[in-house]
Amino acid sequence: MKFLSDLASLQAQVDCRRCYQCGKCSAGCPLAVDMDLTPSLVMRLLQRREAGLDLKILRSQTIWLCLNCETCLVRCPMEIDIPVMMDAFRQESLRRRTVHPRAKKILAFHRAFLDSIRYTGRLYEIGMIADYKLRSGSLMQDLVLAPLMFIRGKLRLFPERIRGRSTVRRLFKHREDE
Amino acid sequence: MSTGFYPGCSLTGSSREYSESLLAVARELGLAIPEVPDWNCCGATAAHNIDPELALTLPARILAHAEQAGMKEVLVPCAACYSRLQTTRHHLRADPDLLARISGRLQMEFHCEIDVINILQWLEREVIPLLAAKKLSSLGYQAACYYGCLLVRPPRILGFDRPEDPRIMDRIVAAIGLRPIEWAFKTECCGAGFSISRTDIVARLSGKILEDAQSRGAELVVVACPMCHTNLDMRRGAIERQAGKKYRLPVLYITQAVGLALGISPRKLGLNRHFVPVSLRAPAGEN
């Protein structure tokens, strides 16, 4: 695939060229104010089909700030599935190693989350948070919250290990090189 | 109808009161909801953001185990798990080749004939009809029904209620004697999975939700998602610091509200686990 719009159109099963810049996605997006590129601008850049503009998308904070709340998709008059495109752009950005430096913590969280379930089959919250802190360097974050969670019985001290964890390990096989 | 129960990881840890209150209500009404055997994590946002293969295989294993156990449908109280399971089911049913490939990876026979339902569908279908025979405590509070994103969107896949102004939770809370308010933030995003990695964003988005609910006279917020609850309840300190003001609204899971109406004790419903105290005045006429 030559341009990002081909990947986007394939994933979303809707041609990016259908976007006519009504701007409803950007108007409704709860994260638009935090983004370096608004969703409708991403659509416009895609339509230009230029390698430099594609790279601008893959290097943006936007693709990591999208929470997949699906508001844009519900409101798009052309039913363009922007959230699915954002998933594809995140994966492509990882593949090309163009992740925005300020997305580091968000990515650290995703990786810590997946690592936590790889070995036990279920999320182990304490382990995941410890792993996240190491990966992101946010060692001091939420130190006050943890004991408050503990006294409310909201922190499980030991992981739950499922019987089928060898199957889960096998499903993770393609990630082992990471 | 054989309904299985998929708790998901949050309900065994940071949101265990959601599971406790659901099971307490089911027990009170004699409804059986056995757990899906040996269930695993659905992969949540992490999987579909950075690993599309896991975003299919992890939910597929859950559905396959439920189907193998003879379950016809799975009740999924967590809105995020519900979204992942429904999305996977949608893709696997639309594409027989994909289903065959994923079943092969699981090394299981799997037809993906199983249905997935959320907590609101289960409550309306199974619980509400049984309430007529029960003496309910009249709660009488003004309630803001907060649905969040993933229960209603995307409608093409979920096919459930109106995506911008859903009504089902409003009907349920009215049936248990609460008074649902009209408000503008029913399906706005709370910040979801950014609770840890971008607490600043969660504080702003969740703050707007509380602000609208409180300004329209809500006395409590009712939710049906562990992430919504975590952000509105556990992150209340961060919300109030960012907003520079206090919000008095307690946040209840819909199952806790139903449990209170049924007269189940607050402790059995896990209300003591909340960060924002739930101090409900005694119901009218029961001092």
Task: Give DSSP secondary structure letters for A31-81.
Answer: TGGG-SS-HHHHHHHHHH--HHHHHHHHT-SHHHH-----HHHHH-TT---
Mean pLDDT throughout B118-143? 95
**How far apart are alpha carbons B203 and B200 in whole angstroms?**
5
With tokens 């300004």, the residue in question is B215
pLDDT bucket at A176, cuts 50 / 70 / 90:
low
In this predicted structure, the answer to whether residue A147 has a pLDDT above a threshold of 70 is yes
Q: What are phi and psi of B280, to 5 degrees?
A: -90, 135
Please name the residue of chain B whose CA is at the shortest distance from the CA of residue A130.
Answer: B196
pLDDT bucket at B118, cuts 50 / 70 / 90:
very high
Residue with the larger pLDDT of the pair A146 and A67: A67
CB-based contacts of B117, cutoff 8 Å, min separation 6:
B3, B73, B74, B75, B76
Q: A94 — contact with chain B (CB < 8 Å)?
A: yes
| Among B38, B188, B199, beta carbon nearest to A30 | B188
Give the burial string for B121-145 (b: 16+ CB within 10 Å, else e): bbbeebbeeebeeeebbebebebbb
**Final residue in a domain of this structure, among B89, B119, B149:** B119
Domain identity same for B27 and B85: yes
Taking residue B48's Cβ as centre, other Cβ atoms within 10 Å add up to 27
pLDDT at B287: 36
CATH number of the domain that B17 lies in? 1.20.1050.140
| Among A71, A129, A156, beta carbon nearest to B12 | A156
In this predicted structure, the answer to whether residue B286 has a pLDDT above a threshold of 60 is no
Residue with the larger pLDDT of the pair B1 and B56: B56
Mean pLDDT throughout A22-49? 97
Cα distances (Å, whole numbers) of residue A12 to A73, B46, B163, B249: 11, 19, 20, 39
Edge-to-edge order in the sheet of strand B220-223 = B179-180, B142-146, B220-223, B251-253
**How far apart are alpha carbons B233 and B206 in whole angstroms?**
10
Mean pLDDT throughout B252-276? 97
Q: B61 — contact with chain A (CB < 8 Å)?
A: yes
In this predicted structure, the answer to whether residue B162 has a pLDDT above a threshold of 50 is yes
Q: What are phi and psi of B251, to 5 degrees?
A: -120, 120
Cα distances (Å, whole numbers) of residue B147 to A51, B75, B78, B165, B190: 40, 17, 12, 9, 10
pLDDT at B225: 97
pLDDT digits (tens, 9 = 90+) for B2-49: 999 999 999 999 999 999 999 999 999 999 999 999 999 999 999 999
Contact A149, B14 (CB under 8 A): yes
pLDDT at B1: 65
Domain identity same for B30 and B79: yes
Q: Could you tell me how far CA B203 lies from the centroid of its own chain?
A: 20
Q: A119 — contact with chain B (CB < 8 Å)?
A: no
**DSSP label of B76:** E
In a domain, B279, yes or no: no
Residue with the larger pLDDT of the pair B115 and B195: B115
**How far apart are alpha carbons A12 and A85 in whole angstroms?**
6
pLDDT averaged over every residue in chain A: 93
Domain identity same for B105 and B15: yes
In a domain, B281, yes or no: no
pLDDT averaged over every residue in chain B: 95
CATH number of the domain that B182 lies in? 3.40.50.11810
pLDDT at A166: 94
Residues A174, B13: C-beta atoms closer than 8 Å: no
In this predicted structure, the answer to whether residue A57 has a pLDDT above a threshold of 70 is yes
Residues B154, A70: C-beta atoms closer than 8 Å: yes
Q: What are phi and psi of B117, to 5 degrees?
A: -125, 155
- Domain ranges, ordered by start, for chain A: 4-99, 102-175
Q: A156 — contact with chain B (CB < 8 Å)?
A: yes
Q: Measuring CA to CA, which residue among A9, A65, A144, A43 is closest to residue B45?
A: A65
CB-based contacts of B30, cutoff 8 Å, min separation 6:
none
**How far apart are alpha carbons A178 and A3 in whole angstroms?**
25
Residue with the larger pLDDT of the pair A158 and B73: B73
Domain identity same for B112 and B48: yes
Q: What are phi and psi of B118, to 5 degrees?
A: -95, 175
pLDDT digits (tens, 9 = 90+) for A98-140: 999 999 999 999 999 999 999 999 999 999 999 999 999 988 8
Full domain range(s) for residue B243:
136-273
Q: B194 — contact with chain A (CB < 8 Å)?
A: yes
With tokens 């007269």, the residue in question is B263
pLDDT bucket at B154, cuts 50 / 70 / 90:
very high
In this predicted structure, the answer to whether residue A1 has a pLDDT above a threshold of 80 is no
Domain identity same for B163 and B113: no
Measured between CA atoms, how close is A138 to chain B, in angstroms?
Answer: 9
Residues A109, B196: C-beta atoms closer than 8 Å: yes
In this predicted structure, the answer to whether residue A89 has a pLDDT above a threshold of 70 is yes
Please name the residue of chain A whose CA is at the shortest distance from the CA of residue B38.
Answer: A162
**Final residue in a domain of this structure, among B64, B89, B119:** B119
Residues A123, B9: C-beta atoms closer than 8 Å: yes
3-state secondary structure of B116: strand
Residues A149, B14: C-beta atoms closer than 8 Å: yes
Q: B40 — contact with chain A (CB < 8 Å)?
A: yes
| Among B9, B197, B234, beta carbon nearest to A122 | B9
In a domain, B258, yes or no: yes
Mean pLDDT throughout B96-120? 97
**Final residue in a domain of this structure, among B90, B119, B148:** B119
3-state secondary structure of B143: strand
In this predicted structure, the answer to whether residue A144 has a pLDDT above a threshold of 90 is no
In a domain, B250, yes or no: yes
Q: How many domains is chain B partitioned into structurally?
A: 2
Domain identity same for B25 and B86: yes
Q: What are phi and psi of A164, to 5 degrees?
A: -85, 30
In a domain, B102, yes or no: yes
pLDDT at A12: 82
Determine the residue among B147, B198, B204 to mutate to test chain A binding: the one whose Cβ has the most chain A Cβ atoms within 10 Å.
B198
| Among B13, B54, B188, beta carbon nearest to A155 | B13
Kindly provide the residue ranges of all beta strands, DSSP E only, lying in chain B, ordered along the sequence: 3-5, 73-76, 115-118, 142-146, 179-180, 220-223, 251-253
Domain identity same for B145 and B262: yes
The DSSP annotation for B226-263 comes to HHHHIIIIITHHHHHHHHTS-----EEEHHHHHHHHTT
Which B positions 101-120 lie with beta carbon below 8 A of chain A? 105-107
Domain identity same for B106 and B224: no
In a domain, B131, yes or no: no
Please name the residue of chain A whose CA is at the shortest distance from the CA of residue B11.
Answer: A154
Listed range (A45-59, B123-137, B152-166, B270-284) with the worst mean pLDDT: B270-284
Q: B165 — contact with chain A (CB < 8 Å)?
A: no
In a domain, B197, yes or no: yes
Domain identity same for B106 and B195: no
**DSSP label of B208:** H
Cα distances (Å, whole numbers) of residue B235 to A38, A85, A145, B6, B198: 27, 30, 9, 26, 12
| Among A107, A114, A136, beta carbon nearest to B54 | A114
**How far apart are alpha carbons B150 and B95 in whole angstroms?**
23
Domain identity same for B37 and B160: no
Q: Give the highest mean pLDDT range of B156-160, B266-270, B283-287.
A: B266-270
pLDDT digits (tens, 9 = 90+) for B168-178: 999 999 999 99
What residues of B are in contact with residue A160 (Cβ under 8 Å)?
Answer: 12
Residues A91, B52: C-beta atoms closer than 8 Å: yes
Whether this model's pTM surpasses 0.90:
yes
In a domain, B30, yes or no: yes
